[in-house]
């Protein structure tokens, strides 16, 4: 399991898809939040932010990533972090504990270039159908209830990280016999 410390979170701290822990369902977080989790969250935000800034990603040898679930660091708890670059060099951070998808659009979308994951270190092709809009409820670091509405790529990130908490990887949603099956039913983003 990843231990938060003085050194920065690195790519090799993230579990690879072959690690069986990624297939396990994560457990609810209890409050007050452990100090260890607060430190891990800080590390996750720093890692995800740096990974999206080209010069820093190169300097620290990071693959770009928008989200990270605790289980990807070997912590089997229901929380994740999303760092969304909404404008060039400007980021919004989302940290949510015990998240639940409470509503979604009927419209389905997919990432045209293909979805990616920091735990999957190989090229993958295919359509991963996702809701275009979602509402997620959960708790912030203080145990206060929060509700987040997300659209487009941010909605995809929330669904991707929610799946991690249930032991599901995005590659599970791609039809191996026909990776672009039903493409006409979904809108590409």
Give the active site residues. Answer: 161
Place of tokens 């599970």: 172
- Measuring CA to CA, which residue among 88, 49, 41, 66 is closest to residue 170? 66
Backbone φ, ψ for residue 35 (5° rounding): -55, -35
- Measuring CA to CA, which residue among 44, 189, 178 is closest to residue 114? 189
Round to whole Å and give the CA distance between 186 and 36: 41
Got the DSSP string for 32-43? Answer: SPPHHHHHHHHH
The Cβ-side half-sphere exposure at 13, using a 13 Å CA radius, reads 20
Place of tokens 């990624």: 22
């Amino acid at each position: 399991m990843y231990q938060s410390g003085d050194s920065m979170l690195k790519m090799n701290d993230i579990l690879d898809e072959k690690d069986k822990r990624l297939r396990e369902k994560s457990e609810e977080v209890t409050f007050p939040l452990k100090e260890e989790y607060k430190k891990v969250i800080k590390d996750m935000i720093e890692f995800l932010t740096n990974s999206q800034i080209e010069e820093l990603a190169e300097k620290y040898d990071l693959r770009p990533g928008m989200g990270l679930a605790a289980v990807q660091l070997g912590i089997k708890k229901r929380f994740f972090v999303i760092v969304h670059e909404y404008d060039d060099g400007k980021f919004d951070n989302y940290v949510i504990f015990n998240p639940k998808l409470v509503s979604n659009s009927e419209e389905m979308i997919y990432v045209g270039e293909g979805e990616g994951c920091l735990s999957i270190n190989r090229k993958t092709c295919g359509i991963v159908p996702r809701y275009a809009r979602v509402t997620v409820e959960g708790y912030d670091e203080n145990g206060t209830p929060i509700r987040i509405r997300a659209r487009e790529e941010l909605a995809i990130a929330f669904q991707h990280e929610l799946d991690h908490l249930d032991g599901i990887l995005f590659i599970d949603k791609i039809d191996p016999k026909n990776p672009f099956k039903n493409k006409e039913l979904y809108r590409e983003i």
